Chains A and B, each alone.
Chain A
Amino acid sequence: MTWTWFHRLASPPHVYALAARLTPWFAWPAAALIVAGLYGGLVLAPPDYQQGDGFRIIYVHAPSAWMSLMVYVTMAVSAAVGLIWRMKIAHAAAASCAPIGASFTVAALVTGSLWGRPMWGTYWEWDPRLTSELILLFLYLGYMALRSAIDDVQRADRGSALLAVVGVINVPIIHYSVLWWNSLHQAPSVMKLAKPEMPVAMLLPLLMMLLGFTLFFVALLLVRLRGEILRRERSASWIREALAG
């Protein structure tokens, strides 16, 4: 097995060009999946027997929550790769993840709050899952704040990478908190390894939204990654060519 493809991933000009080429391959399928998922979730899916049409918030809440966690894990893994193998690209990827993850954490918190009001009777509850999701938001913000506070890009990369790795312990806490503690938030019905408990007409749009959001994230990441690569590159030669295009 040749590792050339892996080594090429460490080459900034290669990744820059590749990211530009790949972006539409993620952006358009993402748009299609999200539009289809929205139609399926808002129009085709039947109302829930308990929550009526209110349950349809799940089609934006669950993908947002999934994003908030998945993006953090991606950020932490990229950060770890950057720390261990000292790859600038990995640090560039981690930096790209943070604003995306933070904004979807806000989305998850707010849509969750709006869902909670009619269903649980309260906009907010200090139960383990909500509290740890709020902590996740602060972790993202702290990560971005640390980055901007350190002037030297390399030190900012490595310092924030360490922070991201330390904070990753929060992610399993968020996910498993509904199992470990009796709380208001419902137990997982989709993210279990066993067969999910939802009827297909409701489940299918949800899966489409989850996949659509994920592809959307990759497209966003590729766009931001190019900028982050440029910021970390000193040598002029390949940049000249890249900017001419």
Chain B
Amino acid sequence: MSASPLQAARLILARDLRVALRKRGQFVQPLAFFAIVTTLFPLSISPELARLREIASGVLWVAALLASLLALEFLFRDDAHDGTLEQYALSGQSLTWLVFAKTTAHWLLTGVPLALMAPLAGMALGVPYTALAGIILPLGLGTLVLSLIGAIGAALTLGVRRSGVLLTLLTLPLSMPVLIFGAQATDLAIRGVSYAAPVYLLGAMAVLGVTLAPLAASAAVRISLE
């Protein structure tokens, strides 16, 4: 009995979500990190909301990027440890779809909560109510692209000891466009101007990422498992 790739993917997605619910602590970490980092800026720069508003977009996006990098470390880690990942690779199912399912689960567990939590941090940085959608939507798209690109780096560094810094070094160059356009979108929203253009670009990156990144990531998984 063999399932279609979509069915297999859905199973993996559900499994990952269920497992995550049991290991809630792991997924709170990136959110806590995000909250702490955004707090550091008012403390170190200035408590004046007017000044913070100027840099709010940059602060939110850098903190989100760093938190996502932190979260990437456990995308494949547990499954690689207990041999599940190897089973996926040997299963005869399309590894691309399975990796895509894992990446999607990862985004739902880290990226989406981050995007939903960010408005709180934004308000603490003086962002007006009207701009909150301009935080959630770009961050939602941006964290999706980050998860997709980051999966490639995470797969490439699977066997490496203390891979944290290396993973950052590999993922950052490829995710800089996300940072650039995402921060631009949020900044335009804060100024009350239309932020459609950068959001479309983020959307295009997301489409490109969804179609190509899982292919590269699954190739990277196979290489690392050799």
B interface residues, how many (CB within 8 angstroms): 20
Interface check B160, CB cutoff 8 A: yes
User: B173 touching A150 by the CB < 8 A rule?
Assistant: no
Minimum-distance CB pairs A-B, first 8: A138-B173, A158-B223, A135-B173, A142-B170, A149-B160, A142-B169, A159-B156, A139-B173
Which chain A positions have C-beta within 8 A of B172? 138
Contact A131 B176 (CB under 8 A): yes
- The bracket for how many chain A residues form the interface is 20 to 34
Q: Is A162 an interface position by the 8 A CB rule?
A: yes
Contact pattern, B 174-197, Cβ under 8 Å of A = 1, otherwise 0: 101000100000000000000000
A 119-144 to B, binary, CB cutoff 8 A, 1 in contact else 0: 00000000000010001101101100
User: Which residue in chain B gives the minimum CB-CB distance to A173?
Assistant: B177
| A159 and B173 in contact, given A150-B160, A166-B152 (Cβ under 8 angstroms) | no
Cβ-based interface call for A145 (8 A)? yes
Q: Please, how many angstroms separate the alpha-carbon atoms of A45 and B152 in the complex?
A: 49
Are the CB atoms of B152 and A149 closer together than 8 Å? no
Are A167 and B157 in touch, CB under 8 angstroms?
no
- Knowing A145-B166, A155-B226, A159-B156, the reply to whether A166 touches B216 (Cβ < 8 A) is yes
Residue of B nearest to A140 (CB): B173
Within 8 A of A (CB), among B143-158: 152, 156-157
A162-B160 CB under 8 A given contacts A131-B180, A138-B169 = no
Contact between chains at A150 and B159 (CB < 8 Å): yes
| B-chain residues with CB within 8 Å of residue A135 when the two chains form the complex | 173, 176
The binding surface of chain B is classed by DSSP as helix
Tell me, yes or no, whether B220 is within 8 Å of chain A by CB.
yes
Chain B positions within 8 Å of A136 at CB level: 173
| Inter-chain contacts of B216 with A (CB < 8 A) | 162, 165-166
Given the complex, which residues of A lie within 8 Å of B173, measured CB to CB?
135-136, 138-139, 142, 167, 170
Min CB distance A108 to B, Å, is 16
A145 to B171, CA, bound (A): 12
- Tell me, yes or no, whether B211 is within 8 Å of chain A by CB: no
A182 at the interface (CB under 8 A from B): no
Q: Decide yes or no whether A146 CB sits under 8 A from chain B.
A: yes
Is the CB–CB distance between A149 and B226 below 8 Å? no
A189 at the binding interface (Cβ < 8 Å): no
Identify which of A141, A150, A155 contacts B169 (C-beta below 8 A).
Answer: A141
The answer to whether A145 and B159 touch (CB under 8 A), given A154-B226, A162-B220, A166-B216, is no
Complex CA gap A145/B165 in Å reads 10
B176: A residues at CB distance < 8 A: 131, 135
Cβ of A100 within 8 Å of any chain B Cβ, yes or no, is no
Chain B residues with CB below 8 A from A150, complex form: 159-160
Residues of B within 8 A of A165 (CB): 216
Is the Cβ of B174 less than 8 Å from the Cβ of A166?
A: yes
A36 at the interface (CB under 8 A from B): no
Distance (whole angstroms) from the CB of A171 to the closest CB of chain B: 12
Contact B220 A146 (CB under 8 A): no
The CA of A165 and the CA of B220, in the complex, are separated in Å by 12
Residue of B156, B157, B172 most packed against chain A (CB within 10 A): B156
A141 to B159, CA, bound (A): 19
Complexed CA–CA distance, A215 and B169 (Å): 31
Pick 17 A–B contacts, CB within 8 A, sort by A. Answer: A135-B173, A138-B169, A138-B173, A139-B174, A142-B166, A142-B170, A145-B166, A146-B156, A146-B166, A149-B157, A155-B159, A159-B223, A159-B224, A163-B152, A163-B156, A163-B170, A166-B216
User: For the complex, what is the distance from the CA of A166 to the CA of B216, rounded to whole Å?
Assistant: 8
Additional A-B contact list (12), CB under 8 Å, known A145-B170, A155-B224 = A135-B176, A136-B173, A138-B169, A139-B174, A146-B156, A149-B160, A149-B163, A150-B160, A155-B159, A162-B216, A163-B170, A167-B174
- Shortest B120–chain A CB gap in Å is 29
Q: A166: shortest Cβ distance to chain B, in Å?
A: 5
B163 touching A162, Cβ below 8 Å: no
Interface residues of A in 161-205 (CB under 8 A from B): 162-163, 165-167, 170
> Within 8 Å CB of B124, what residues of A?
none
